[in-house]
Structure 1
Amino acid sequence: MAAYVITRHHISISRACKIICLPKSMYYYTRIKDDSATILKLQELAVKHPTEGQDLYYSRIRREGLKWNYKRVRRVYLMLGMNKRRKAKRRVPQRVKQPLCQPENYTETWSLDFMSDVLVNKRKFRTLNVIDDFNKEAIAIEAAHSMPAQLVTRLLERIMREKGKPKRIRTDNGPEFISREFRDWCSAKGIEVQYIQPGRPMQNGYIERFNRTFRENILDAYLFEDITQVQILAEEWMQDYNYNRPHDALNGKTPAEYKALPAACRH
């Protein structure tokens, strides 16, 4: 109020204070808040417990015997911008390098990987590609706009009913594959998961080579209006890939022909 009177009527501070009956000392009073200890404590908690929020921080502070009230902690918490969502970096466990060897038998090792593309309306979609490392057979290509871990395990359940259960699955460190749901599902089924080392796609070379062929023949060759078109073309292409397309790595045989060969004639 005093500041308004001074600015509006161009009078001195003393006269303005007399007019509004305000002690001059109060006009000059500035409240000093020392929040340094609160700031340090909240920053410390944010480093130790990055996924927790204000209420848990406050509970920890009170348990340590600090008597700061909730409003003080809240004010400093907001001042530091800690209410904004923080994306914690997910740590990938250290992976052991696994040699990329062709398995000796069918359903011994499956390789999984995702691919991405867009429809003509610019909406993104993904495909989950599954091959058998033994004969490079395309076991499944599933297209969807979203492919969470639950959908991945459901697809694998369906494939296993038709093709049998693999001993192991080789994959990268994508969020769907390192999720607890996927790992627990594999553990329950007795399937070993072989993760490649981060940044080393060549360790999953069979599916990477397959992906390149699929992109050249389907994803880059057609414009898709919806997911159904993607799925139909992918399934038609898989039939040709498995039964008509010879592979140099299979001595000029198709995946279906190589699978039918006696073990003595495969090499």
Structure 2
Amino acid sequence: MTKRRSKRHTPEQIVRKLRDAEAMLNAGKTIGEVCQQLGGSEPTYHRWQTQYGGMKAEEAKRLKELEQENGRLKRLLAEAELDKAMLKEIAGGKLVSPSRKRQAVQHLQDTYDVSERRACQLLNQPRSSQRYQSEPPDDEPALLKQILDLVRRHPRFGYRRIGRMIQADGWKVNLKRIYRLWRREGLKVPRKQKKKRALGTGANACHLRRAERKNHVWCWDFIFDRTETGTTLKWLSVLDEYTRECLVLKVDRHITSEDVINVLAELFKTHGVPEHIRSDNGSEFVAQAIREWLKQIGVETLYIEPASPWENGYAESFHSRVRDEFMNCEIFENLRSARKQTDSWKEFYNEVRPHSSLGYLTPRQFSQQCISSSRTPSAFQRYTADTQLLS
């Protein structure tokens, strides 16, 4: 036996039935007889009386329309609140590329259980673009493998320097593609907060007396670190400000003014005599022995303003690279291992590492392109010959 479905009445029909029921009751019929005559039960009659009693058909129809409109507005409000919540969810980054929008659409579908159509409409993403599957080039896995290998070996290099190194290895790839892979893999070099410093007023500052050619101005300074056991290590660096070439990077427990003279003597033999040499006012550099020795050779000393390291900017910049890319990445077991590691990094810096200020050439490549304009080392040779005769 099939179950009969109850007939659904419109508000107008309910109001008419209530009107008829009221007339029957006034005629002396009971509620049971009225409900049987109208084809309904007593609970239904009382519910209708509570909801629509005293209304006219037009008023009941208007009430029904208002209820429907209220329901529609509630649904719209709920959808607007959902859209607002979804937009807040993805407000953390810029959605300017189709790939970023594809990721955002998929995230909204997984998080809020909405359809692809609605998520695409919210982000103004064509559904054809959402369903597009890119086909990477055949050489992309090998290229990505080399990028990651270089990043592991040089964690402080950005995508431009990594790209130049890859191009130097024979890859025909532009930096835009390197940057796309860089971003896709989430690679990033942490940015350091730049500290603002006041400019020095010393006449020998590097921004006032600039190097104009190779062997025009050298700069030197010291940098310190420790071995694994806590013993102090001291590095002496000498840099050609024009070519950015590291001429020497000597490490020892202690470096005296006599050691500095010996290092300079070797450099003058192999690289020629510079016109100027810039340094701070450290005790090793202002020592009377060094000043007199350089004066006899004919090298002008450029001492910067005290407590103004920015005036020796090339040395400070080089030391920041040494600290960031070498000392912070290596553990020095002892002096012997420190010397070996220092020689290896110095060769890498001069011959392999691209330098951004040199058009991403290495300092050695740039130095070979430059015509050395250093003075003939006759003064140094005469001084060496004189000291040998006196001895």
TM superposition score normalised by structure 1: 0.60
> Which of 259, 263, 266 is the matching residue for 1:155?
263
> Which of 238, 242, 252 is the matching residue for 2:346?
238
What letter matches 2:254 in structure 1? S
> Which of 190, 193, 203 is the matching residue for 1:96?
203
Question: Does the CA-based 8 Å contact 2:257-2:289 persist in structure 1?
Answer: yes
What letter matches 1:218 in structure 2? F
Q: Which has the larger radius of gyration?
A: 2
> Which of 329, 333, 339 is the matching residue for 1:225?
333
Alpha-carbon separation, structure 1, partners of 2:301 and 2:243: 19
Question: Does the CA-based 8 Å contact 2:256-2:284 persist in structure 1?
Answer: yes
Counterpart of 1:205 in structure 2 is: 313
Counterpart of 2:273 in structure 1 is: 165
Q: Aligned residue pairs: how many?
A: 170
Counterpart of 1:37 in structure 2 is: none
1:173-228 per-position Cα deviation (integer Å, ceiling 9, x unaligned): 00000110111111111110001111111111111111011111221111212212
Question: Does the CA-based 8 Å contact 2:214-2:370 persist in structure 1?
Answer: no
Q: Give SS of 2:273's match.
A: coil
Change (3 A) 1:159 1:175: same
What letter matches 2:231 in structure 1? R
Alpha-carbon separation, structure 2, partners of 1:247 and 1:102: 19
Alpha-carbon separation, structure 2, partners of 1:175 and 1:163: 25
Alpha-carbon separation, structure 2, partners of 1:98 and 1:125: 28
Give unmatched runs, 5+ long, in structure 1.
Answer: 1-93
1:114-153 per-position Cα deviation (integer Å, ceiling 9, x unaligned): 0011112211110001110011001000001111101111
Q: Give SS of 1:211's match.
A: helix
Q: Report matched runs for 1:18-97 at 5 Å.
A: 96-97=203-204
1:95 offset after TM fit, Å? 5.4
What letter matches 2:229 in structure 1? N
The root-mean-square deviation of aligned C-alpha atoms, in Å, is 1.7
Alpha-carbon separation, structure 2, partners of 1:155 and 1:224: 23
Q: Give SS of 1:120's match.
A: coil
Alpha-carbon separation, structure 2, partners of 1:141 and 1:147: 12
Higher-helix-fraction structure: 2
1:153-184 per-position Cα deviation (integer Å, ceiling 9, x unaligned): 11111111111111111000000001101111
1:97 offset after TM fit, Å? 4.3
Give unmatched runs, 5+ long, in structure 2.
Answer: 1-200, 372-391
Alpha-carbon separation, structure 2, partners of 1:143 and 1:240: 17
Q: Which has the higher contact order (CA 8 A, sep 6+)?
A: 1
Does 1:135 find its partner at 2:250?
no
Q: Which portions of structure 1, spanning 4 or more consecutive aligned residues, are displaced by more than 6 angstroms? A: none
What letter matches 2:270 in structure 1? E
> Which of 300, 312, 326 is the matching residue for 1:192?
300
124-133 or 252-261, which deviates more? 252-261
Alpha-carbon separation, structure 1, partners of 2:244 and 2:282: 22
What letter matches 1:186 in structure 2? L
Does 1:257 find its partner at 2:372?
no
Alpha-carbon separation, structure 2, partners of 1:138 and 1:154: 17
